[in-house]
């Protein structure tokens, strides 16, 4: 009887399984950080889009549009308003239209629960709120002479931001401050 030399030895099989296991562990670790980062990016671009749509809405409807960010809790430090949220109670984007002194809520949209903190600097109103307001010409109202900055922080501590210029134009950045 002759032994066949076809096939793999047990050492070769164990080596291949070990390499596959190590590659899987690396992929899972990478995936666990990429998902929250992707969700933060989605939330940041959603907030940026909301600001841009609100500006266009204000001009096309000859109205004042206010975007207010509400969460499970908020705090004020100087002129900055910090809003917190979670998966159970995400930060809400509330769009309000004011025509002739009559305010109407247009929409309420939750941000992704991955965003645990949003800081609006400076806030506007009395008392200070995490809000951005656009007049009928599409210009930002309140919030000082410079950019009004919203910074979003996720569960891993990663920070992205959205800046709204006095002209009303919004842009988002992959950093904590847009320049």
CATH number of the structural domain spanning residue 102 = 3.55.40.10
Q: What is the number of structural domains in the chain?
A: 1
133-162 average pLDDT score: 92
Residue 126 has pLDDT above 70, yes or no: no
Convert the pLDDT of each residue in 87-96 to its tens digit.
999 999 999 9
The closest of 51, 81, 82 to 66, measured between CA atoms, is 51
Give this prediction's pTM.
Answer: 0.83
Cα Rg of the chain (Å, integer)? 24
Whether 36 is covered by a domain: the verdict is yes
Whether 4 is covered by a domain: the verdict is no
Whether 5 is covered by a domain: the verdict is no
Q: Which domain holds residue 130?
A: 10-173
Ranges of H-type helices in the chain = 10-61
Distance, in Å, from the CA atom of 84 to the CA atom of 154, rounded to the nearest integer, reads 10
pLDDT at 18: 95
Residue 49 has pLDDT above 60, yes or no: yes
Residue of higher predicted confidence among 177 and 86: 86
Residue 44 has pLDDT above 60, yes or no: yes
């Amino acid at each position: 009887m002759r032994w066949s030399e076809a096939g793999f030895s047990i050492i070769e099989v164990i080596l291949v399984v070990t390499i596959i296991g190590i590659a899987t562990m690396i992929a899972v670790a990478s995936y666990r950080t990429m998902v929250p980062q992707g969700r933060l990016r989605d939330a940041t671009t959603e907030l940026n889009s909301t600001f841009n749509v609100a500006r266009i809405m204000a001009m096309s409807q000859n109205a004042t549009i206010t975007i207010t960010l509400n969460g499970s809790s908020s705090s004020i430090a100087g002129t900055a308003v910090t809003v917190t949220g979670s998966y159970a109670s995400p930060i809400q984007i509330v769009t309000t239209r004011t025509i002739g002194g009559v305010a109407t809520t247009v929409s309420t949209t939750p941000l992704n629960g991955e965003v645990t903190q949003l800081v609006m600097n400076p806030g506007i109103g009395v008392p200070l709120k995490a809000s951005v307001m656009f007049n009928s010409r599409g210009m930002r109202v309140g919030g000082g002479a410079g950019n009004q900055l919203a910074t979003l922080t996720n569960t891993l501590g990663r920070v992205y931001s959205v800046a709204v210029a006095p002209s009303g134009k919004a842009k988002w950045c992959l950093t904590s401050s847009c320049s």
